[in-house]
Amino acid sequence: MQPGIVYVDGKWYPPERAKVSVFDHGLLYGDGVFEGIRFYNGRVFKLDRHVDRMFESARMIGLTPSVTKEEFRDIILQTCQKSGLTDGYLRPLFTRGEGDLGLDPRKAKRTSLVVICSTISLYGDKHRTGLSAIVASVRRPPRICLNPNVKSLNYLNNILAKMEANEKGADEALMLDLEGNVAEMSADNIFVVKGHTVYTPQTSNCLVGITRETILELCEGRYPVRTEMFKLDFVLQADEVFLTGTGGEVAPVTSIEGHPIGSGKPGPVTQELQQRYFDLVRSTGTPIPTGSGSGSATTDAASSTA
């Protein structure tokens, strides 16, 4: 049984009882946005930054949330508290809501809010030993088609890249844009280390990642950073490569298309930044309240509908 709890439009449910309508436009058309949020040792890491980014994603697709930022923030904290977990992963979603079988968003009269609170483990021991990657044949769509800074529910482009990695026996897929610039991994930002300089792509073709931002902050005063566009050969000639994301955290990439990166082992810059990141997330954040919680929503452990 999946651990945790799920909030759906005013009530909390055990994971196996949480449901949304089959007519929800988030399910039918990927019409909605989401966030991935971590909490460690009873603290939610960069909660306000995640709240702001989710509301910005909603604004960019013309979706009006059913709650205010403060209400959303309170629901996040209550969900963590009710889950009984001290370490976990949150997946909040705003969907366009229930409508009909036409894609016209006006047919969905009220947006829906779902907050899944559970656990996640993407790479296991490979955080320590390193990941293998392939270069995906599928490309990231250009900004003019879909702004990469909208964390939309439509992740099919990324899923196809991940499937290609699976088929080739690799852990991850590196994705290029239409001009052949390095964009990101299937669901994470990418960093390249050459000497003591840390490089990462500009966010014109990839997500403005919150873990990415955190790593850039950790580099300040320690490593020079350059945000610029670069090609695949630049990555293959790197001393170190690592990826960052809320779900994936910070993980070294030690080979791409069978080509070893640097020594073929996690490098010292990656290891230092990884350790500093883990130290930071385990010691800072918004405290999860204790006690019975607050707010008007209720827990419905027996109901099978939402």
13 Cβ contact partners less than 8 Å away, ≥ 6 residues apart:
5, 6, 7, 19, 299, 300, 301, 303, 306
Q: For residues 207 and 147, what is the distance between their CA atoms, to the nearest angstrom?
A: 9
User: In 3D, which of 183, 27, 41, 127 has the Cα closest to residue 192?
Assistant: 183
What are φ and ψ of residue 303, in 5° steps? -65, 145
What does DSSP say about strands 131-135 and 172-176: parallel, antiparallel, or unpaired?
parallel
Non-local (6+) Cβ contacts of 1 within 8 A are 15, 16
Buried-state track 169-197, b at ≥16 Cβ within 10 A, e below 16: ebbbbbbbbeeebbbbbbbbbbbbbbeee
Distance CA 159, CA 176 (A): 14
Active site residue 46: no
CA 192 and chain centroid, separation: 20
Number of H helices, E strands in the chain: 8, 18
**CA-CA distances (angstroms) from residue 46 to 32, 58, 74, 139, 147?**
22, 19, 14, 30, 23
Catalytic residue among 107, 151, 194, 265: 151
Rg of the chain, C-alpha, whole Å: 20
Amino acid (1-letter code) at residue 230 = F
Yes or no: say if 177 and 185 are a contact pair by the CB < 8 Å rule: no
Instruction: Show which residues are catalytic.
Output: 151
